[in-house]
Structure 1
Amino acid sequence: MKQQRVLRYMIEVEHGIDDYVDDEVSASENETAEEYIPAGRLVQITAVNDDGVIENIDLWVPPGPTTATRLPPARTRAHSRGYLVDTRTNRAVSFASTHEMHCALDLLSNRLVIDVEDQPPAVPYLAADGLMHEHTYDYRATLQNGTRLAFAVKPFDKVEETGIEDVIERTKPNLPGFADAAFLVTDRTLTRNRAWNAKATLRALKIRNDQDCARMRTIIADVHGVVSAYALARNFERFADGLNAIWCLLYDGVIELAEPARKLVDAPWVRVCNGGVVA
Structure 2
Amino acid sequence: MPTALRFAPRTAHRRRDPRPMRIPMFDPQNPEFARVISGIAGASDQPPILLASPHTPPYPSTASRKISLRSKGSSRGELVIPDELRRILFESSLEKGGGLWMLTYPGLVRLDDQPPAVPIVHPDGRPGWHTFDFRAHFDDGRRIGISVKDEAHAIKNDVAGFLQHIAPQIPKSFADGVMLYTERSISPAMLSNARLIQAVRRDPPHPADAVVGAIVATIQGQVRIGAIVADSGHGAAAFRAVVRLIAKRVIRLTADERIGYATRVTLARRNDGEVA
- The TM-score normalised by the length of structure 1 is 0.72
- In the TM superposition, residue 83 of structure 1 has moved relative to its aligned partner by 0.3
Equivalent residue for 1:241, pick from 237, 241, 251: 237
Residue in 2 aligned with 1:161?
Answer: 156
Q: Distance in 2 between matches of 1:69 and 1:190?
A: 27
User: More helix per residue: 1 or 2?
Assistant: 1
Residue in 1 aligned with 2:102?
Answer: 107
Residue in 1 aligned with 2:22?
Answer: none
User: More strand per residue: 1 or 2?
Assistant: 1
- In the TM superposition, residue 76 of structure 1 has moved relative to its aligned partner by 4.0
Residue in 2 aligned with 1:28?
Answer: none
- In the TM superposition, residue 224 of structure 1 has moved relative to its aligned partner by 2.2
The answer to whether the Cα contact below 8 Å between 2:77 and 2:89 also exists between their aligned partners in 1 is: yes
What is the identity, as a one-letter code, of the residue corresponding to 2:87? A
Gaps of 5+ in 1: 1-46, 52-56
Q: Distance in 2 between matches of 1:111 and 1:161?
A: 31
Alignment of 1:89-238 (within 5 A): 89-110=84-105, 112-175=107-170, 176-209=172-205, 211-238=207-234
Check 1:208–1:198 CA distance in 2 against 1; reply closer, same or farther (3 A cut): farther
Residue in 1 aligned with 2:34?
Answer: none
Q: Judge which range, 109-118 or 144-153, deviates more.
A: 109-118
Residue in 2 aligned with 1:80?
Answer: 75
What is the identity, as a one-letter code, of the residue corresponding to 1:153? V
The answer to whether the Cα contact below 8 Å between 1:99 and 1:190 also exists between their aligned partners in 2 is: no
The answer to whether the Cα contact below 8 Å between 1:212 and 1:245 also exists between their aligned partners in 2 is: yes
- In the TM superposition, residue 193 of structure 1 has moved relative to its aligned partner by 2.4
The answer to whether the Cα contact below 8 Å between 2:251 and 2:268 also exists between their aligned partners in 1 is: yes
What is the identity, as a one-letter code, of the residue corresponding to 1:258? T
The answer to whether the Cα contact below 8 Å between 2:224 and 2:261 also exists between their aligned partners in 1 is: no
Q: Distance in 1 between matches of 2:66 and 2:105?
A: 24
Identity percentage of aligned residues: 26
Q: Distance in 1 between matches of 2:210 and 2:57?
A: 30
> What number of residue pairs does the alignment pair up?
226
Q: Distance in 1 between matches of 2:177 and 2:191?
A: 23
- In the TM superposition, residue 267 of structure 1 has moved relative to its aligned partner by 5.8
Larger Rg, first or second structure (1 or 2): 2
How much is the aligned-residue C-alpha RMSD, in angstroms?
A: 2.8
Q: Judge which range, 80-89 or 263-272, deviates more.
A: 263-272
What is the identity, as a one-letter code, of the residue corresponding to 1:124? P
- In the TM superposition, residue 48 of structure 1 has moved relative to its aligned partner by 11
- The TM-score normalised by the length of structure 2 is 0.73
Higher relative CO (Cα under 8 Å, sequence separation at least 6) belongs to: 1
Q: Judge which range, 171-180 or 94-103, deviates more.
A: 171-180
Instruction: Spell out, residue by residue over 1:177-218, the C-alpha distance to the aligned partner (whole angstroms, 9 max, x if none).
Output: 101111111111244422221121122121153642222122
Residue in 1 aligned with 2:251?
Answer: 255
Instruction: Spell out, residue by residue over 1:72-94, the C-alpha distance to the aligned partner (whole angstroms, 9 max, x if none).
Output: 33454442111001122221101
